[in-house]
Structure 1
């Protein structure tokens, strides 16, 4: 991911700094290591606590992992990168040393993961969805960067994490619930959850009496009140550099509803499609869906800002 960030930064600017590239790699690797350790411990506690309290972990663990993942990762990344940047001039060897240290640990983690049957599959097949999801999210990042580079659309930067966070959390919950429902009938590829030969109809996804359809309707209905709370919070904190006019709220809510509608429909198809091909949806579907959420949310939000500018709402 850090190498991709270096490449994406080098292509438009045409400037490359080896020291900064190593700094970015060292910060990213150290952050990923610590964040994964902390989040793993937290998620174990959340799942065990949910089971003891009689709460479905699918409704709790997935959004907590997504939200805390962003918070912890960004906090660690900012702190670690700031500390390593301070060492860049006086002790330039620190950043390469950090990279070498974590690379030296890699064979140990591979051996440990191969010995556990639960993690062996992820070790061999878990890279593909993560790398592809990273590429999809990077496209959304390019859209955001291109849009906020225009001073007229600078306020979009505040609303992008909100719309992407809400959409990603909701679709992750739905994908996890569908996957759990399918796992109750057996292993991937078994039972009634085999992949349909064609995409499901929107009516079967949102309007049927199926348990997953009911949860999709509930999650879709959470979009408007959830975003209203976040919009009020942003307005109260005087963030966003954008006046919350009625027409802005209408366009914003339309983008948010359309994003979640598309994601829930894709989740219904993708989870069943992966299940029918003997792929565990828990390992494969959620990275794709959250990345698509970033791309669709950023694209729709950028489109909304441009349309608002064209029709005269230019605050």
Structure 2
């Protein structure tokens, strides 16, 4: 439920942020948002999974060990956030250049072109509704100045977000351990709920401040300072025996997830304007099954680490529910949330929902949840058999694939009800 509410607020906030001065001045600031949210969200999910596993196998019980693990993971998160945001800035500049060239070609080939009615289309990645780009009239062309502005805004906002959310997630997991709650059931949905919302708020706020210094050296100086900070954190991580090995792990699934999300963005871009309410429904049918799968990944990964560890007694393993029971429970828990979501949309008049369409959407939502759960189980076991830590490798790929599968199932749902003449 928290994940669904967080995703809805994120979509609504994006609608407002896209109208701010910085976003209307530089195209790449809009383009970078879905890329950053996709990559940054995976970092928080990985952090929650790693610390959840560490808590459940008893590594966080000793105060000295706990301090080293938490500080090491927070430093690692800063390094990852800086690299991820810089790569996202590069991607946004490339996509922005392609969009501008495409728009210029379209303008040149359109005899009746009206410069006041131009919109540029961007690829919108996981879990975010499609928003048309502001007009190109007063836009700045992509260049070194704009790239510095975009990169500095992205790096500063993601670094601040990492400090806030990372500290919160560490505190939450320690409290779960202290009060006898399983963090694998709590941390991943909370990370998914707050990650996008907080990062989007910070991108909007930081870019609004830095846009006033666009033609100065301040964005460049800020970017250099952030890179130096990441280097210091990297040195600290390399000296920490608990997280040293993690520096070189998990990068391939992060950027692989970004490529998969490109397909998701194209699906959303094609069908968002074709079907009424597609972006709003896509939020839940993609985001919620992905969050459910992340819970299962965390639980299975913890069980695998615990089985390989001497810290956890075999009597505790016998008390753990079977994976099939966990999967069935997660399915039954999410089904009422989907029904409540559709009922709320209908009651508030946000979307026209015929009964037949609602029934089909619930059926396809269940298909998405089942796909997410089986995919989570397969990825976790496969990666473990390949000597890869599921806490680092499984969640990014799983999240990106479920965004794509969820939206494809929603397209199929719309196609069926349209063929039946219901919608």
Task: Establish whether TM, by shorter chain, passes 0.5.
Answer: yes
Query: Which piece of structure 1 moves more, 41-50 or 73-82?
Result: 73-82
CA displacement, residues 71-124 of structure 1 (integer Å, 9 cap, x when unaligned): 211222222223333443xx4433333322212222111101111123222211
Q: CA deviation at 1:178?
A: 0.5
Q: Structure 1: how far apart are the matches of 2:403 and 2:288?
A: 10
Where does the alignment leave 5 or more consecutive residues of structure 1 unmatched? 188-208
- Map 1:113-128; keep pairs closer than 5 Å: 113-128=237-252
Instruction: Summarize the Cα distance change of 1:5–1:116 in structure 2 as closer, same or farther, 3 Å threshold.
Output: same
Residues 1:180 and 2:306 are matched in the alignment: no
Q: Structure 2: how far apart are the matches of 1:167 and 1:264?
A: 8
Instruction: Summarize the Cα distance change of 1:145–1:6 in structure 2 as closer, same or farther, 3 Å threshold.
Output: farther
CA displacement, residues 222-257 of structure 1 (integer Å, 9 cap, x when unaligned): 232111222233344543xx3021122123222221
Query: Which piece of structure 1 moves more, 299-308 or 101-110?
Result: 299-308
Which residue of the partner structure matches residue 386 of structure 2?
277
Q: Structure 2: how far apart are the matches of 1:23 and 1:35?
A: 18
Which residue of the partner structure matches residue 167 of structure 1?
289
1:116 counterpart SS class: coil
**Alignment length (residue pairs):** 287
Q: Which runs of 4+ in 1 moved over 4 A?
A: none
Give 2:338's match in structure 1, choosing from 214, 220, 227.
227
Q: Structure 2: how far apart are the matches of 1:117 and 1:129?
A: 23
Contact 1:2 1:24 in 2 (8 A): yes
Which residue of the partner structure matches residue 31 of structure 1?
157
TM norm structure 1: 0.83
Instruction: Summarize the Cα distance change of 1:44–1:210 in structure 2 as closer, same or farther, 3 Å threshold.
Output: closer
Instruction: Summarize the Cα distance change of 1:37–1:12 in structure 2 as closer, same or farther, 3 Å threshold.
Output: same
Q: CA deviation at 1:64?
A: 0.8
Give 1:11's match in structure 2, choosing from 98, 102, 121.
98
TM norm structure 2: 0.63
Instruction: Summarize the Cα distance change of 1:55–1:33 in structure 2 as closer, same or farther, 3 Å threshold.
Output: same
Which residue of the partner structure matches residue 169 of structure 2?
43
Which residue of the partner structure matches residue 327 of structure 2?
216
Q: CA deviation at 1:147?
A: 1.8
Instruction: Summarize the Cα distance change of 1:7–1:258 in structure 2 as closer, same or farther, 3 Å threshold.
Output: farther
Give 1:71's match in structure 2, choosing from 156, 178, 197.
197
Give 1:134's match in structure 2, choosing from 258, 261, 267.
258
Q: CA deviation at 1:217?
A: 0.7
CA displacement, residues 156-210 of structure 1 (integer Å, 9 cap, x when unaligned): 12222222221111000000001111111116xxxxxxxxxxxxxxxxxxxxx96
1:17 counterpart SS class: coil
Residues 1:245 and 2:354 are matched in the alignment: yes
Instruction: Summarize the Cα distance change of 1:147–1:86 in structure 2 as closer, same or farther, 3 Å threshold.
Output: farther
RMSD (CA atoms):
2.2
